[in-house]
C-alpha cells in the first residue's frame, strides 16, 4: 500500500468527520441520544478524528462503535461523566448502543482515532454467526437486544498491533477511495482481533 494513499485517505476521512452534522434526540428518561449519522442505505461508516482537542458532550448513541487509538492516546468519559478512562495507542474501545460515552481529550500533539460505526440491525444480520463462536463477545453484543441500557463497554489491548493496524489501514483506504463502500471486512477485523491476541483490559457492567 502506498504511504501517500494511506495519508490522503486519513486526511480525507478526517475532513469529512469534521463536516458531520450530528443529530440528537432525548429519550423518555431525558438521556441525550446521538443518532446514526449515515443514510438509510449505509450500514457501516468509517471515520477518522485527527487533532489535539476533542471535547464531546456526554451522550449515548443508537449504534455499535469501535474506536481504535491509531496514533497517540486519548481520554474519554465512559458509562458516566465521572468515569474517565484512557485508551492508549494501539488499544480499541468497543461501545454498545446506548452506552454513555464522550471523548474528552486535550493533547500537546495530534491524536488519530479510527472509528468504525455499525448499525445494530446490519451487525447482527451479517456477523451473528461469527460472534456465536465466542461466548463472551456474543453476550456483549447480544445483551443490548435484551436490555437497552445494559451499560457495557470493552477496552481491548493487542499482542500483535501490526496486523490490526494493517487491516484498519486497508479498510480506511478502501472506504475513502471507493466513496464510502466497504467489502465486508468487519468480519475479517473481528477474526484479526482474535488472531492478534486481544485481551480485555477493562470491561464494565452496571
- C-alpha cell recorded at residue 12: 480525507
The DSSP string of 1-64 is: --HHHHHHHHHHHHHHHHT----EEE-TT--EEEPP-S-TT--EEEEEEEEEEEEPPPBEESSE
Per-residue model confidence (pLDDT) at position 112 = 97
Q: How far apart are CA 23 and CA 127, in angstroms?
A: 27
Contact 76, 101 (CB under 8 A): yes
Per-residue model confidence (pLDDT) at position 156 = 82
Per-residue model confidence (pLDDT) at position 19 = 95
Show the domains of the chain with their CATH numbers. 3-204 (2.60.120.10)
Q: How far apart are CA 104 and CA 23, in angstroms?
A: 19
DSSP designation for 132: T
At which residue does the C-alpha cell 490522503 appear? 8
Per-residue model confidence (pLDDT) at position 158 = 80
In this prediction, the residues of the chain whose per-residue pLDDT falls under 50 are 196-197, 201-202, 205-206
Q: In 3-state terms, what secondary structure has residue 7?
A: helix
Calculate Rg over the CA atoms of the chain. 16
Per-residue model confidence (pLDDT) at position 71 = 96
Contact 111, 52 (CB under 8 A): yes
Query: Whole-model pTM?
Result: 0.83
Amino acid at each position: 500500500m502506498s504511504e501517500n494513499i494511506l495519508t490522503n485517505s486519513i486526511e480525507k476521512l478526517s475532513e469529512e468527520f469534521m463536516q458531520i452534522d450530528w443529530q440528537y434526540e432525548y429519550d423518555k428518561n431525558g438521556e441525550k441520544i446521538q443518532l446514526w449519522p449515515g443514510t438509510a442505505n449505509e450500514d457501516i461508516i468509517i471515520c477518522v478524528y485527527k487533532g489535539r482537542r476533542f471535547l464531546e458532550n456526554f451522550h449515548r448513541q443508537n449504534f455499535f462503535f469501535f474506536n481504535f487509538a491509531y496514533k497517540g492516546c486519548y481520554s474519554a468519559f465512559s458509562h458516566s461523566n465521572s468515569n474517565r478512562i484512557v485508551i492508549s495507542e494501539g488499544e480499541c474501545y468497543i461501545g454498545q448502543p446506548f452506552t454513555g460515552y464522550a471523548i474528552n481529550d486535550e493533547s500537546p500533539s495530534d491524536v488519530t482515532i479510527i472509528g468504525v460505526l455499525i448499525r445494530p440491525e446490519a451487525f447482527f444480520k451479517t456477523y451473528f454467526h461469527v460472534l456465536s463462536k465466542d461466548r463472551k463477545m456474543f453476550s456483549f453484543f447480544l445483551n443490548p437486544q435484551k436490555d437497552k441500557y445494559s451499560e457495557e463497554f470493552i477496552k481491548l489491548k493487542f499482542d500483535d498491533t501490526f496486523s490490526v493496524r494493517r487491516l484498519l489501514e486497508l479498510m480506511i483506504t478502501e472506504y475513502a477511495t471507493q466513496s464510502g463502500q466497504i467489502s465486508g471486512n468487519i468480519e475479517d477485523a473481528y477474526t484479526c482481533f482474535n488472531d492478534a491476541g486481544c485481551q480485555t483490559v477493562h470491561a464494565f457492567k452496571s
